[in-house]
Chains A and B, each alone.
Chain A
Amino acid sequence: EVHLLESGGGLVQPGGSLRLSCAASGFTFTTYAMTWVRQAPGKGLEWVSLLYSGGSSTFYADSVKGRFTISRDDSKNTLYLQMNSLRVEDTAVYYCAKEGYDSTGYAYIDYWGQGTLVTVSS
């Protein structure tokens, strides 16, 4: 059974930094791309970043580009999101998600973690 457990959320001041972690189990972590998606309080879902297996390719939403860095440690089955220069508008629940592959080889989200709350406030 796929299990994704996020950690590292909390309260941080504007301009500060935080690193989120996502511990994965129940599948061959090295094989799959992984994604971060966030949800501001009372709002919809916003895709943040994706990292393909082997760390070969990364993609970011414009809203976080240059401030956030996605990475993975395959030896620990763990995904990370380093968040720098945090803004009030980055306040959200951050979800880690595993990618599946459809019949054409395109990656899509198939499993989600429970999320970790990041609050940016002074």
Chain B
Amino acid sequence: DIQMTQSPSSVSAYVGDRVTITCRASRGIRNYLVWFQQQPGKAPKSLIYAASSLQSGVPSRFSGSGSGTDFTLTISSLQPEDFATYYCQQYDAYPWTFGQGTKVEIK
């Protein structure tokens, strides 16, 4: 199985800060990566697919990059509603696997 490792596990930031989250795959997954946001007590929401394509309706302050084994999710200017847990997930091979999550907290 492909292991997905996110870093950091948590990050504290101010509203308006730029935040970057990293996701590393245990082997190359081309660009078959999605990013999800999960606010407390809610279902996940899809943000980015194919590593860098913005899901419809997602604000442009979210962006993704990377290919192969190393990927990043960047929030250019953190907003109050962005405080949540973020997950990456590979869809290159079954079983699909998720990263362990990165919690973005208010500083």
Residues of chain B with a CB closer than 8 A to A47's CB: 89, 95-98
Q: Is there contact, CB below 8 Å, between A109 and B89?
A: yes
Q: How many residues of A contact B (CB 8 A)?
A: 25
CB distance from A38 to the nearest CB of B (A): 11
Residues of chain A with a CB closer than 8 A to B65's CB: none
Residues of chain B with a CB closer than 8 A to A108's CB: 32, 34, 46, 49-50, 91
Minimum-distance CB pairs A-B, first 5: A47-B96, A102-B50, A112-B43, A45-B98, A59-B94
Write out, one digit per residue, whether chain B residues 25-58 have a CB within 8 A of any chain A CB (1) or not (0): 0000000101010100001111001100101000
Residues of A in contact with B (beta carbons under 8 Å apart): 37, 44-47, 50, 59-62, 95, 100, 102-104, 106-115
Residues of chain A with a CB closer than 8 A to B38's CB: 45
In the complex where A59-B94, A102-B53 touch, is A45 in contact with B87 (Cβ < 8 A)? yes
Whether B101 is near chain A, meaning CB under 8 Å from some CB there, is: yes
Whether B100 is near chain A, meaning CB under 8 Å from some CB there, is: yes
Q: Which residues, 81 to 104 on B, are CB-close (under 8 Å) to A? A: 87, 89, 91-92, 94-101
Residues of chain B with a CB closer than 8 A to A111's CB: 46
Residues of chain B with a CB closer than 8 A to A46's CB: 98
Please report the C-alpha to C-alpha distance between residue A103 and residue B38 in the assembled complex, in whole angstroms.
25
